Amino acid sequence: SGADDYICKPYSPREVVARVKTILRRCKPQRELQQQDAESPLMIDESRFQASWCGKALDLTPAEFRLLKTLSLEPGKVFSREQLLNHLYDDYRVVTDRTIDSHIKNLRRKLESLDAEQSFIRAVYGVGYRWEADACRLV
């Protein structure tokens, strides 16, 4: 019982939707993802918050790191923007789903600078994003 949030007038419908989605994210439990392929060119070291592709270090922001981990642990699975937001922000801040697009753009640019031949993240029209490369190796 009690209020989790409030909005002062005037407000935009997008603000209402973003805040409702934030509250709903709190209600959904996060499931643990399984460790994947031990021979993968993508290595993710969670304890050091580092990632590398074919031995080349990736300089990632915390948001990009979490996105990379989420997508690469389940290659081929399509994640909606909302699902990615749930993995990205565990402190339930209010953000729009288009925030994911910006992070994906930056992550793609960094990955493609290391391997221009590889397709890493593919957009699925009207749904979200999926990891196209091999699964990652967690360290």
At 112-124, the pLDDT tens digits run 998 888 889 999 9
pTM of the prediction?
0.69
For the chain, what is the largest distance between any 2 Cα atoms, rounded to a whole number of angstroms? 55
CATH architecture of 13-138: Orthogonal Bundle (1.10)
Where do the structural domains in the chain lie, given as residue ranges? 13-138
Q: pLDDT: is 106 or 32 the higher one? A: 106
Neighbours of 121 (CB within 10 A): 19
Q: SS3 of 23, please?
A: helix
Give residue 32's pLDDT: 43
Residue 63 near residue 102, CB atoms below 8 Å = no
At 93-113, the pLDDT tens digits run 777 878 899 999 999 999 999
Give residue 33's pLDDT: 41
Is residue 31 over pLDDT 70? Answer: no
Cis peptide bond N-terminal to 29, omega within 30 = no
Angstrom distance (rounded) from CA 18 to CA 21: 5
